[in-house]
Copies of this chain bind each other. A is one copy, B any other.
Amino acid sequence: MVQVRMEASILGANDLLARKNRGIFARQGTLVVNLMSSPGSGKTTVLERSIDYLHDRLRLGVIEGDLYTDQDARRIEKKGVPVKQINTEGACHLDAKMVGEAFESIGEKLDLLFIENVGNLVCPAEFDLGEDFKAVVMSTTEGNDKPSKYPLVFREARVVLLNKIDLLPFTDFSVEQFREDVAKINPHAPVFMVSGRTGEGFEAWIEWLLEEVRKKRAEA
């Protein structure tokens, strides 16, 4: 009971800071996307490919969440995009305080900020960072049971990316089943099929994302 109350109060504090972040992002007209997935689903590779498409068209920034390392941040740096690493030192998700500080330290006016959360299908879904929306990346090698086993992350996401479609022929994964399962949990979320490795399928996802950036700008 004490634990439950403590968790409620931590979440409450986080929500206040998330609201503050949301205000800052809104004033700057920055669209903020919180990328979530299990470890190894290819979030960083999807991000790299997306940056290749968007780099010349938008002012981009990235916040990288990892337990201890800065490997992903160094990968993004090579793309010439401002990036800030957050090390959670063992914590299984980013929180709004970490993100607010990281965004401040980037200190540039951005059209689009990607936040790559810690690789984890459970905890990150519970924490509002002030983002415009959450995106979940799942790969075809993870199996068809994931939406029903991790419903919160699929329910919280505005958009779903099914990655590693180049490996589809070598797996038992059913795309049709996946689409049905996602639709049961989250009927309005578009599902984009991509391969971070080959680049297949990125056009549709990028067009969708650009439309979201346009809408955000129109609001600002």
Contacts and interface: CB of A to CB of B under 8 A. Distances in A.
A71 B39 contact: no
A39 B172 CA distance: 16
Interface in A43-98: 66-69, 71, 90, 92
Oligomer: number of copies: 2
Given A10-B3, A92-B92, A141 B123 contact: no
A149 B39 contact: yes
Contacts of A118: 122
A108 interface: no
A6 B9 CA distance: 13
Interface string A154-184: 0000000000101100111000000000000
A151 interface: yes
Contact of A142 (B6, B40, B143, B172): B40
8 contacts: A6-B6, A40-B40, A67-B149, A68-B149, A68-B151, A141-B164, A166-B170, A167-B167
Interface of A: 2-3, 6, 10, 38-42, 66-69, 71, 90, 92, 118-123, 126, 138-139, 141-143, 145-146, 148-152, 164, 166-167, 170-172, 197
